[in-house]
Amino acid sequence: MIKAMAALLTAAALLVSLQSCASPPRPRPSSDCGPGATCGTLRVPLDRTDPAAGTIAIGYTLVRHLDGSRPAQGTVVPNPGGPGASATAALAMYATGYRDLLRTHDLLLVDPRGTGVSEPLRCRAAAGVTTATARAKIVAAIGACGAELGDRARHYTTAAAADDIDAVRAHLGIDRLDLLGQSYGTYLMTVYARRHPDHVGSIVLSGAYPLRFDPWARQNAQALRRAVGALCDRSRGACEGRAVLADLATVAARLRRGPVPLEGGPLDEAALAGMVYQVASDDPELFGRLPAILRRAAGGDTGPLAALAGQVRDGAVRDGDDFSVALFAAVVCGDYPVPWAAGTPVADRPARYRARLARLDPADFRPFSPKAWVSGIPDRGDVCAGWPGVAATPSGGPPPRVPVLVVSGEFDLNTPVEEGRLAAGQYPRAETVTVPNSGHVPESGGSAASCVVALQTAFVRTGRLPAADCLGGVPAVTVERV
């Protein structure tokens, strides 16, 4: 006990000294900010336990609330996800989509370290990787990226990004933040809330998943079966859920035996799984076309399916100014749960992975094989098999007792309703909303967007969920007749 208390006091003293080393915010050129915005850069420790590690510049953009006749009711801090995405690059999206909320609240965008204007993290090995790259190439590229980054990778964690947000908050003299996390942003904001609970006013999580989730994505497969059933139930007879799943199983088995050659790489069972995962989550129009495309493919005509695969690949996320594949890898492989025992050497991971994969119940993954399903999802399965570091779930204390709203899209397979409920269960005061006929982060576009933004706006202002009658007006997805 004495040693533990001494260590705690030493850490507290070290934290004070590190905070005093951070330089005051400095402006960035106004051309970087956008109209009505103020930019800044704050230097913070690269490693808050090791002053010798140096510093890193954290870029932010602050937009004051529109009603200047009154003080701001709060400061909203959003994160659009990734991991690897820039928050400041999404300024126009937030300023336009949440214009009503920004009448009363300031908007603070902070780029996580390694993204956007916070010294983007890059590695040559991952430069050509996209979210649609074949699994074997992704695993190899991420392993090579980890070797290239070496010890630097351990500084790019969700916990460090959360502490950077708090450093910006403190330097701007803001007492409490209203957190708005989307996709990976729900993970980041949950970590922030656990590490800095006294500085949280409210939390909105859209497209949420818990800190400890299933690396095998079984709940995502469950969501696929549920989403197909719901799509067809509202299709006015255009499709029947069990028949669509049967067609999907037929096509998956056929591709397992013999992939269809395509210019961007073969369409195999894993690529099909990734395509279905992507389409249901992100594009309701394509999801509505999927039953008819699968029926034709089950009958032997794979042309429309191949065309859809090409369309999905063309829209894949790539390394660039607004997204860092290296940061994606550092967070996924440094923070997320892995499907092998902690501390398993890199050389032993493939065999351990295959052994655990063989013990899984195939029924949990139907209509796909377990291997194909997890291989089709960019951040699950063996994606980190070659990463040299060791994963560790971010630490922190209990979450604050503040109002929390968790929003899930009914058709989202990326962060499904099932995971959203688990995310809500991490908080003592959380309410959940399922948005019908919608996919991943439903406020980001589509017919439900204005309704969801209105609900979120009211929740941030009042701490209470208003009547969600507008959700009843979200139209069913148009389904092409099978």
| Chain mean pLDDT for the chain | 91
**pLDDT over 50 (residue 420):** yes
What backbone torsions phi and psi does residue 406 show, to the nearest 5 degrees? Answer: -115, 120
Percent of the chain with pLDDT over 70: 93
Q: What is the dihedral of CA 292, 314, 438, 482, to 10 degrees?
A: 0
The lowest-confidence range among 4-8, 175-179, 184-188, 262-266 is 4-8
pLDDT band at 8 (very low <50, low <70, confident <90, very high): very low
| Residue 144 burial class via C-beta count within 10 angstroms: exposed 0-12, middle 13-18, buried 19 and up | middle
pLDDT band at 25 (very low <50, low <70, confident <90, very high): very low
pLDDT band at 29 (very low <50, low <70, confident <90, very high): low
Task: Characterise 208 by phi-psi region: left (phi > 0), alpha (psi -120 to 50), beta (else).
Answer: beta
Residue pair 182/81 in contact by the 8 Å Cβ criterion: yes
Percent of the chain with pLDDT over 90: 83
For 170-180, how does the pLDDT look when each residue is reduced to its tens digit (9 = 90+)? 999 999 999 99
Return d(Cα 312, Cα 225) in angstroms, integer. Answer: 21
Which pLDDT does position 31 carry in this prediction? 54
- CA 70-72-74 angle, to 5 degrees, is 155
Enter the DSSP assignment of 283: -
Q: Token pair 């065309």 is at which residue? A: 307
pTM of the model: 0.92
Return d(Cα 325, Cα 142) in angstroms, integer. Answer: 9
Return d(Cα 334, Cα 387) in angstroms, integer. Answer: 9
Name the token pair of 433: 């909303």
* Higher per-residue confidence, 320 vs 10: 320
Which pLDDT does position 6 carry in this prediction? 30
Return d(Cα 447, Cα 350) in angstroms, integer. Answer: 43
For 320-349, how does the pLDDT look when each residue is reduced to its tens digit (9 = 90+)? 878 999 999 999 999 999 999 988 999 999
**pLDDT over 80 (residue 118):** yes
pLDDT band at 16 (very low <50, low <70, confident <90, very high): very low
For 347-375, how does the pLDDT look when each residue is reduced to its tens digit (9 = 90+)? 999 999 999 999 999 999 999 999 999 99
Which pLDDT does position 17 carry in this prediction? 26
Residues 6+ apart with CB under 8 A from 177: 74, 75, 76, 77, 108, 165, 169, 199, 200, 201
Picking from 116, 194, 183, 186, the residue whose alpha carbon sits closest to that of residue 159 is 194
Return d(Cα 230, Cα 238) in angstroms, integer. Answer: 12
Which pLDDT does position 117 carry in this prediction? 95
Torsion 154-158-161-163 (CA) sign: negative
Which stretch of DSSP H or E encloses residue 407?
strand 404-409
